[in-house]
Structure 1
Amino acid sequence: MKKSLLTASILTLSLVLAACGGGNANEEQDTNNASAEQPAAQQPAEQPAAEQPAKNEKLIVYTNANSDGRGDWLVEKAKAAGFEIEIVGAGGADLTNRLIAEKNNPVADVVFGLNNMLYENLKKENVLIQYVPAWAADVEAGLNDPEGYYHGLVKQAILLGYNPDIISADKAPKDWLDLGNNPEFQGKYEAPTMLGQITPQLVVAGILTRYQDANGEYGIAQAGWDEIKKLYDNGVGAVEGEDTYANIASGKTPIGTIVSGTLKKKTEQYGVAAGTVSPEVGVPMIVEHAGIVNGTKKIDTAQRFVEWMGTAEVQGEFAAQFNAMPANTKAAEQANEEVKALYASLKAQAFDWGFISDNVGSWVEKIELEIMK
C-alpha cells in the first residue's frame, strides 16, 4: 500500500515537472519565432544611400582672386548654398609653388583664380585631377583646358591704354609693336619691366609668340627678340610702387598697360577714362580658372562645390557685383553694359599656353640680363 502511494506520488510529480519544462520550451520557441518573424518595417532601417542628403565637408580653397571683397562674397554665397569653405589667399606664383610643395600631402581641396600658365605648371606636376563640370560646355570656346584639368571662370583682358586728353584716338598706337617702332611714342609709354608679375609677362609673350621658331633662342626667332629690344629701348621703365593708371592720367607716361577688370574703378579714382587699343592679332587674355586638387580626401564635396561655383547663376551674380566678364557665355548676359561693350570690341590673342609656360622663365631671364640694361 505504501509502495503504491509512493509510486503514484513520484509519477504525479514527474508529470507536473514535465508539464512545466515543456511550457518553458514552447514559450522560448515562440519568443524566438516572434523575433525572427517580426516585419522589417518595424525595425529601424537605414535610409538608402541614393536618398541620403549629400554631406558637404569643409573645403580648403586656395585662390589669388580674393581681394576687393571677392573672397568674402564667395564665402557667404557658398554658405547659403550649403558649403563651408575656408579661403587661403596669396599671389598666383606663391600659391602655385605652395601647391607643388604640398602635392604629396595636399592641404587644399580646390584652387581657383590662377591663369593658364600657372595651371599648366600644376598639370605638369600632377597637382590637379581631370574633372569636367557640367557648366564647362557653356564656357567660351578655347578657354577651358582641352585635357579637362581646369575650366574658365572670369576673363581679364590685358589692354594697351592711353590718355585721350593727351593722345587722340587717330594718333594712338594700334598695336604693341607700334610702341618700339614709332619715334612719336618714345618716352611716352611704360615698358613692362616688372617681369616678376604675370601681366608684364603676358605683354612680352604677346609679342614674342608672334615670332615662334623651333630653331630660335628659347623658341623665338631673332626678329622677335629685336622687337622686344625696341620695346624697352623706346619706353620708360615702370617704377615699383607707382600706379600705371595714375601715370597715364597725369600724363607722366600717357600710354601703358591696363587690366580690363580695373578700368571702371581706375576711371572713377583718377577722373580719366582711358582709351584702349584693339590690335588685329588680339589681346592677351588672362582667364581665371577652377580646378580640383589631386589627393583631396573630400573629392565628392569638391566636385559639388566646383559644379556650383561655375554655374551661370553664380558667375552672373559675381559679374554684376564686381564688374567682371564671365567666361561662361550664359553668365555673360548679366555682365554690366560697359563691360559687355568693351569685350564686344576685343578678341583674345591665340596663345599656346604650354609653350609659354615652358619658356617664359627663360624669356624673363634673357630680357632682364641682356635687354633691360
Structure 2
Amino acid sequence: MIRFEPLEARLVLSARAVDAVNAFAGDLYEHMQNETGNLAFSPLSVATAMGMLYGAAGGQTADEIAAVFHLGTEPGIHSAFRSLIRKLESPRATIEVTAPWLNEWHRQSPLWSGVAFDDLSQEAQWEVLFAIPTELWLEHNYEYSVWEPTYETSIANAVWPQAGAPIDAEYLGLVRNSYLGHVEGLDYSAKAEAARERINEWVEAETEGRIVDLLPAGALDAGTALVLTNALYFKAKWDTPFIRESTHFATFHLSDGESVDVPMMVNQYDELSSTVIDGYSVYDLPFESGGSSTSPGSMRIVLQRQADGAGVLSAETVARINAWDADEPYVVSGCPDNFYLPKFEIRVETDLASALAGMGMPSAFGGDANFPSIGAGTY
C-alpha cells in the first residue's frame, strides 16, 4: 500500500473523498483477493475514474455507483476529489540530489566500482569530482546537484468522446474543472485504430512510459462512443535507501507452500513504525521527507506472521489498519537488525467491470445503463 501521511491533517477539504477511497479500497480488495495470481490496483485511480463516470450518470445507475464507492448523497463529492487531486500532486518539500550528468559520467568512468556516487565515502566522492574534465564542468556551470520534489504524483484523467457526439457541455466542464481532466474528441467511426493509438500515446506519456499499449489492438471499433481513462504515476525516494550492494538472492515463500530464490533487498533502520493487527505484522517504510519533521508518505508492508496463514485480508482488518493510521500514525518500535524486502515488478490486467458489477453496480455495464450527460444512445 502507498499511503500519504497524514491524510486527515493535510487534506481537510478533501476528507470526504479520502474516506470514500479508503472505504472502497477495503471492499474491492476483499472482493478480488481470491483471484488467481498477483493482485495490484490503485483504489484512488479507480475511485477517481468512477467519480467522473458518476458525474455523467442518472437514476439507478448513479445510485449504484454512489453506494459502491461510498460517495454519499450530499453535494460536493466532485469538489472533494478536486481538492484531493490538487494536494496529492503538490509536494511539500524538495531535496538536493546529485545531478544526472554527474551520475552518468561516473558510471562511464574508470572510477566506477559498482557503487553509486551518493553511496561513496566522502573521500571517494572528492576523487570523482576532481577527475571530471574541466570542459564538462563548464558545460554544466559547475553545478553537481539539483533540487527535486520529495515525490512525484500525476493523476491524469481524460475523456475521449466521439468527435461531434452530443456530450453535455456541463459534464465536460466537470471533468476539466473537478477532475483536472483532459477532453479530446476522436473519430472512432472512421479511424478507430488511430484513436486507440492516440489514447495509448497519451497514457504512456502521463505515466512516464510505465503503461504502454493500455488499449490492445481491436479494443475500439466504429461503434465506440466514448472512452474514459485514468493514469496514475507515483515516484518517491526512500527516506532510508536500501543498500544496493547488499541485495542478494534469498528464499521467498509463496502462498502455495513452494519457495523460490529472488533478489532480496536489505536495509537497516534506527527506528521503524510498526504494529501487529489481526495476526499480521505491519510496517511503514517512509519516503524522503526533504528535511521536514514528518514523511510525506510511506509504503505500507503487511506480512503474514505464519507461513501457513490464510493469506487474505478482510475489509475489517483493512479498516483496523486505517484506524491505526489515525490513532497512532507513528508508533516507533524496535526493528530487526536487518529488514528484508524482495525486489518485485507487478503487471496485472484486471476485469474491473465484472468486479464492480459483482459489488453492486451492474446497471452501469448493462443495457439499462443511464448516462444522460453522455447522450442517449451513445453508450
TM-score of the superposed pair, with normalisation by structure 2:
0.23
TM-score of the superposed pair, with normalisation by structure 1:
0.23
Structure index of larger Rg: 1
- Structure (1 or 2) with the greater strand fraction: 2
- Structure (1 or 2) with the greater helix fraction: 1
